[in-house]
Amino acid sequence: MLAGCQFSSQPTTKHNDYTRVTEISSEVFYYTDNPLILLEMRAKWISNQGYVVDIVTTSIALDNLDLNLAWSQNRNYRYVSGGKSSLVCVVGCTVSEKGRLFIPEDEFRTYAHTGFTFKLIGRSNSIDGFLNARAFQRVLYKMQTLPQMQTLSRR
């Protein structure tokens, strides 16, 4: 079984003055243990939503995954689908599905030490995933280094 985990891009901090929403995100991390499915993930803190992991799942399959559940350590996490798009359809389709996984703050902090192993479950398939501890560490570090973020996170 081939498994891979790598990162690219840079962590970001965005603030929208109009909505007053601040978002701190890690760089993009990739993971796959299936040659037909790739996970692209970012750990984030969003001032009006809390701690989340944004996931883009790209699969080459004859049918859609229709992801709607996330499990880790015998626990169900809130997972909200963000829609899907077919990128290429010749023999089967390359389908990209977006979703957001919500994580309580104490568990987010734990995953900054352990990493996060999880399973996404859909209508026709399930996907194993792993997000490196570094993703969570980047978000927590950015929050500590920006004084105004400490105030926002306590609201």
Query: Given pLDDT bands bounded at 50, 70 and 90, which one contains residue 155?
Result: very low
Exposed, middle or buried by CB within 10 Å (0-12, 13-18, 19+), for 61? middle
Residue 150 in any domain: the answer is no
Residue 101 pLDDT exceeds 70 = yes
Handedness of CA 124, 43, 76, 47 (dihedral sign): negative
Exposed, middle or buried by CB within 10 Å (0-12, 13-18, 19+), for 59? buried
Q: What percent of the chain has pLDDT over 70?
A: 81
Residue 152 in any domain: the answer is no
What would the pLDDT profile of 27-85 be if each residue is shown by its tens digit? 999 999 888 889 999 999 999 999 999 999 888 865 667 788 888 988 899 999 887 67
Residue 69 in any domain: the answer is yes
More confident residue, 92 or 119: 119
Number of compact structural domains in the chain: 1
Q: What is the pLDDT of residue 92?
A: 67
Residue 143 in any domain: the answer is no
* Residue among 38, 31, 33 nearest 6 (CA): 31
Global pTM value: 0.82
Residue 102 pLDDT exceeds 60 = yes
Residue 104 in any domain: the answer is yes
Residue 154 in any domain: the answer is no
Residue 64 in any domain: the answer is yes
The domain spanning residue 61 has which CATH number?
2.60.40
Treating both helix axes as pointing N-terminal to C-terminal, what angle do 105-114 and 133-145 enclose, rounded to 10 degrees?
A: 120
Residue with tokens 């306590």: 154
Domain extent for 108: 4-132
Alpha helices by DSSP H, listed for 7-54, are none
Residue 147 in any domain: the answer is no
